[in-house]
Structures are given as structure tokens and as C-alpha cells.
Amino acid sequence: MPDIVTSEDIHRRAADGESRLYVPQEAIITDIARETARRMSVEIVVGEPDSPRPESDSFGERQDGVLRLSEAPAESPPKRDSSSADGVVQKVDRSPFSPQELRNLRAEFPSLQSTVHLANCSQGAQSLRVRRAVEQYMENWRASGMDWDYWVQEVNNAKGEFARLIGAEPDEVAVVGSVSEAVSSVAGAIDYEGERNRILLTEAEFPTVGHVWLAHEKYGAEVDFVPLRDGELLLEDYRRMMDERTAMAAITHVYYQTGYKQDLEAVAEVIHNQGGYVLVDAYQSCGACEIDVKELDIDILTTGNLKYLLGVPGIAFIYVRPELVPELEPADTGWFAQRDPFSFEVKVLDYAETARRLEGGTPPVTAAFAAQAGMQLLQEVGLDRIEQHIDYLSGYCLRGALTRGLQVASPLEVAKKGPTTAVQVPAEESHAIEMALKRRGVVTSARGSMIRIAPHYFNSEADIDIALDELRRLLG
Ligand SMILES: Cc1ncc(COP(=O)(O)O)c(C=O)c1O
């Protein structure tokens, strides 16, 4: 067995028709080997073929430009060595924004003059642009009394803006009030009496997604959860749990608690190989990184607008692959889902031919004005640069947290995470810590035993330093 695993080893293994490469504990795996293994679906496993439980190679530390495997911790969330920042694996080594450009970008968000806003995993900061958009609706309403043609057009424009953001067409997008509603709409469109009644979720879902599907068990749905192992979701588990009875995998892109990000393309391939569909909850990633639903081969994607999309509560979008639309006849419906919402035919149910059939009643007009403005702002800055900046700050935050002796529950490899870096605190104190930070002008978000530090494109290194210093001080 090789001590240094290169891409050659992966190619040889794949050529032999093997899906696993067993390596010794002390093996060094090059980054290219790792990437090749991912592309060729060869799993690198530490140990011997007959080991009782092969361990995944998901944890490691970087030395001399290569990743050195270390033993994977047994429990979730993972325990980290908090005495050094050596284990952090950066993705980019600097921000694409110059200091002057960052200052200009920050000027759009007046609250940044007095607060450090790092709660973007919960609510994005308020921009001048979004505020003006909401005021524009209010002013139009005041001046016109009622202007439905304009308002509905603005909702359609928001759908178009969202479509542009994810590489889709406006007709492939529906608008609803929340991600819960979006998932309910899809769940109510599946025939659980047919051959496929299983729904695969993960333990990393936001609870609402679990609630919606579990509520459909009374109609015959069978719900299973892919386990989190050491804070990660393994392809091996998807392969094991996916079968020809599974209609859909409804999975999060980024875990709301720790920021762990899964490889959607690889998961979609596993699900599609068994004839299932993939629904992605992109609430913790959309607006913070580039997403192209066509490239990733995703069937359905949903997200709301108040986090990285910089909007307000009350609106969410659903992308549906056009070929899938005719199969979906949601029980959760309304007049805006009809082919002609203005036919006023009470005795006829006639679904629209486009993704609009997933909509319900009167659309969220005020929130749509805000949503459109927020997404335009992101497009102007550029999702590629936003992703780079956030990745840079992610690495900066991981290092900063570890060097301050804080316990980090997020992956240490930036490529495996979204914007959130979760710092572990006593569960019973997390809310009080969030409040105490807020009093010091630092807006973060507590969940369970974590304080989530979630930067966006307008955040700076100084923001991260202030938040971590204050958190360190509070934790004593
Ligand atoms: C990943 C994820 N999905 C869903 C939700 C909830 O969405 P909604 O309240 O729009 O139903 C959240 C809220 O934080 C979330 O983080």
C-alpha cells in the first residue's frame, strides 16, 4: 500500500472496478488524489479491507501542502484540538475586494457603522437598496390606492431575478411564503400509494423540513434520515440508503448549525442512479456562493430571502426542473397555481403548465419588492467574488477561533463549509451569550450549543476579530 496516495493510485483503483482504496493510518493523500477520488467516486478508507468499521478520511490536518490523515472523532459534533489553528485548510488565501472596494460595499449597509453584523445565517443586514424598494411599494400603494398589475409584475420580476441567480428560466420558478410552504407543496404532490413512497432526509435538515415530511406519513410516506457522522454526511450512506422505493431525497446544501456543506453534484448522482429526485434546501447557501441548478443536476431547489439574499421574511422561491412539472399536482394549492388565475372557475382544478403550479394564494408583494432589490445587489457585486470573500473570511474565522482557544464545531476545511463558523458554548447559555454579544454591538446567532458567526460579502477581518475577542471574553 502506498504511503503517499496520488491520483495515479485512484485511477488504478477505478480501472480495477474498485470503489474503495484502503490506506494506512499514516498515509499522505495529495489534494489532487482527493479531488480525483471525488470525481471518480472512489472512497479513500483508512484501515484494512476487513476492518470492522472503515473510517472515512474526512478529518485531517494540512502539513507541507498535503493533507495528513488523523483519526476521525467518534461523536458528532466533532471535537477539535483547540490549541492551534494548524488543522485549518484554506480555499482562497485572500479576498477579491481591495480595502477601498470593501469600504464602498459596506456603505450600502448603514447599520455596519455601529454594529458588527455576523448573523447572516439568520437575517442579513439591511441595505439602502432593499429599504428603498419596500418604501417604493408603500409609496405606490399610498399614491395609487391599488395597483395589482404593477405589483404582480414586480413579483414576476423577483422570480426572474431568482432564476438568473441559480441558472434557471423564470418559468421554472414559483413563489411562496416560506421554505416550509415550498416543501409542503412538493410533499403534497407525491403519490405515496405508488411504488415509491420513501423520502430520504438527512440529520442535517432544518427541523421544518423533517416536520413537513413526517406529517405526510399519514398519507403513506416513509421517512428516513441519512445520519450525520462526525458532523458530515457520507456518500457511502446515501448509496446504502437510496433504493428503488425512494421517490425523493430532500436535503440541505449547508447544515444550518455548523455550516457543513455537502457535495450536491455527487449526492444527486447517487439519487438519480436509483431513479429518485433531489430537492435541495439552499437557505444556508444561496446568495453566499455560486449555484447553477443545471450544472449540479438538481430537480427542485428552494430558498427564502431573508438571509444571504438580503431580503425580508415572507417570501421563498422554488425552482422545478421543467420535465418534472407535469408529474407534480400539489394538494396544497390555490388560484395562483392555476393555468389562468383570473378565469374564476370555482369547479375546475387546472394546474399551470409551469412551475407556477406550486404556488398558492395572493403572492407576498411587499417581500417581493425587497427580494428583487436584494438579489440585484448580489448580482452587481458578483456571486463568484462574494463566494471567494466569504471563503476567505471562513478560513480567517476558523483560524481566529482556534488560536483564541475556542471550540469549533464546523469543518476545518473551508471547501467543506458554507459561511457559518459555529463556536461551541454551554447549551443553556447560548441565547444569553447571543444577547450579551448584541449589547456589545456584535450580532450573531445562537442555535443549541453553538454561537454561529456567519459573514457575508460586506464583512471584514476586523468584524471577525471583534466578534471572536468579545466571545472569548464572555466565555472567560
Ligand atoms: C436551512 C434552512 N431551511 C429552512 C429554514 C426555515 O425556513 P422557513 O422559515 O422559510 O420555512 C431555515 C431557517 O433558518 C433554514 O436555515
User: Which residue of 175, 176, 208 sits with most ligand 1 atoms within 8 Å of its CB, as the best mutation to test the pocket?
Assistant: 208
- Provide the pLDDT for residue 50: 66
Q: Tell me how far apart the 2 most distant CA atoms of the chain are, in Å.
A: 76
Residue 282 CA, closest ligand 1 atom number:
1
Measure 184 CA to ligand 1 centroid, in angstroms. Answer: 13
Measure 306 CA to ligand 1 centroid, in angstroms. Answer: 10
Laid out side by side, the sheet with 20-23 consists of 20-23, 43-46, 55-56
Residues with CB under 6 A from ligand 1: 178-180, 206, 208, 252, 256, 281, 283-284, 304, 316
**Helices 383-403, 461-475: crossing angle, 10 deg rounding:** 30
Residue 205 CA, closest ligand 1 atom number:
1
Q: Do residues 263 and 280 lie in contact, with contact meaning Cβ atoms separated by under 8 Å?
A: no
User: Which residue of 201, 209, 256 sits with most ligand 1 atoms within 8 Å of its CB, as the best mutation to test the pocket?
Assistant: 256
Measure 176 CA to ligand 1 centroid, in angstroms. Answer: 13
Q: Do residues 334 and 299 lie in contact, with contact meaning Cβ atoms separated by under 8 Å?
A: no
Among the listed residues 49, 52, 70, 53, the one whose alpha carbon sits nearest the alpha carbon of residue 61: 70
Its pTM stands at 0.83
Measure 283 CA to ligand 1 centroid, in angstroms. Answer: 6
- Provide the pLDDT for residue 174: 98
Q: In whole angstroms, what is the distance from residue 260 CA to residue 252 CA?
A: 10
C-alpha cell at 258: 455548523
Q: Do residues 430 and 420 lie in contact, with contact meaning Cβ atoms separated by under 8 Å?
A: no
- Provide the pLDDT for residue 69: 25
- Provide the pLDDT for residue 80: 53
Among the listed residues 168, 13, 133, 97, the one whose alpha carbon sits nearest the alpha carbon of residue 460: 97
Residue with CA nearest ligand 1 atom 14: 122
Residue 252 CA, closest ligand 1 atom number:
1
Residue 316 CA, closest ligand 1 atom number:
10
Among the listed residues 396, 413, 417, the one whose alpha carbon sits nearest the alpha carbon of residue 68: 413
Residue 313 CA, closest ligand 1 atom number:
10
Q: In whole angstroms, what is the distance from residue 17 CA to residue 229 CA?
A: 27
Q: In whole angstroms, what is the distance from residue 238 CA to residue 251 CA?
A: 11
Measure 308 CA to ligand 1 centroid, in angstroms. Answer: 12
- Provide the pLDDT for residue 4: 67
Alpha carbon distance, N-terminus to C-terminus of the chain: 47
Measure 179 CA to ligand 1 centroid, in angstroms. Answer: 6
Degrees, nearest 5: CA angle 216-220-224: 70
Residue with CA nearest ligand 1 atom 5: 206
Measure 206 CA to ligand 1 centroid, in angstroms. Answer: 6
Burial classification of residue 277, based on how many CB atoms lie within 10 Å of its CB (0-12 exposed, 13-18 middle, 19 or more buried): buried
Measure 399 CA to ligand 1 centroid, in angstroms. Answer: 28
- Provide the pLDDT for residue 162: 98
**Tally of CB atoms within 10 A around 160:** 17
Residue 284 CA, closest ligand 1 atom number:
1
Partners of residue 182 on adjacent β-strands:
none
Among the listed residues 378, 195, 361, the one whose alpha carbon sits nearest the alpha carbon of residue 287: 378
C-alpha cell at 71: 483519526
Measure 162 CA to ligand 1 centroid, in angstroms. Answer: 17
All structural domains of the chain, each given as residue ranges with its CATH number in brackets, are 4-69 (no CATH), 99-125+383-475 (3.90.1150.10), 147-380 (3.40.640.10)
Residue with CA nearest ligand 1 atom 7: 179
User: Which residue of 123, 254, 280, 281 sits with most ligand 1 atoms within 8 Å of its CB, as the best mutation to test the pocket?
Assistant: 281
Q: In whole angstroms, what is the distance from residue 400 CA to residue 397 CA?
A: 5
Measure 462 CA to ligand 1 centroid, in angstroms. Answer: 29
In terms of phi and psi (left: phi > 0; alpha: psi -120 to 50; beta: otherwise), the region of 24 is beta
Across the chain, which has 476 residues, the per-10-residue mean pLDDT values are 61 76 73 58 79 36 30 40 72 96 98 97 98 98 98 98 98 98 98 96 98 98 98 98 98 98 98 98 98 98 98 98 97 97 96 98 98 98 98 98 97 98 96 97 97 98 97 95
C-alpha cell at 132: 428603498
Residue with CA nearest ligand 1 atom 16: 256
Measure 207 CA to ligand 1 centroid, in angstroms. Answer: 8
Among the listed residues 47, 44, 39, the one whose alpha carbon sits nearest the alpha carbon of residue 9: 44
Among the listed residues 332, 285, 51, the one whose alpha carbon sits nearest the alpha carbon of residue 185: 332
